[in-house]
Amino acid sequence: MPVDEGGVRIIGLREFHKSLKELSDDNTWTKQLREANKAAAEIIAVRARTLAPVRTGKLRSSIRSLASQKSASVAGGGARVPYFGWIDFGGIIRFKKKRGGIKRPFFTKGRIIYVALADRSQEAVNEYAEAVSDLIKRSGLNEG
């Protein structure tokens, strides 16, 4: 599974899904794939939480892993933490009532999530590969 700066790309995933659909009468494999994706994303999320600065703890607790049967991601921020992108990447926060703003040096590769991905991508790939390998064995795809 190739790893690049933007994330992890899995070659053959579409064909793998098609084979699982053909072999299985039930959809238990969709849940298992989602769980495999979630476990891989959580490895990155755990590392990202350790990299996040802590003042109140909201920023750190906003970092979460997301997964479906076809993808996994790590996100931060939200309605309660709208400043997450500014903390991670930098830039300028402008105020409505004041002139100017607060500047933070801009990092194109960020300070939190992309750094966590770079640090733990191989571990996440290994976790995912092991989970998919188990799924293949249980589904009988490796027979024949």
pLDDT in tens, 41-81: 999 999 999 999 999 999 999 999 999 988 899 999 999 99
Write out the H or E segment, with its range, that includes residue 94: strand 91-94
**pLDDT for position 132:** 86
Residues 102-123: tens digit of each pLDDT: 899 999 999 999 999 999 999 9
Tell me if 57 is assigned to some domain: yes
Residues 6+ apart with CB under 8 A from 13: 70
Number of domains observed in the structure of the chain: 1
Tell me if 35 is assigned to some domain: yes
| Residue span of the structural domain in which 15 resides | 3-139
Tell me if 144 is assigned to some domain: no
Tell me if 50 is assigned to some domain: yes
Q: ∠ at Cα 40 (31, 5), nearest 5°?
A: 130
Residues 6+ apart with CB under 8 A from 43: 120, 123, 124, 127
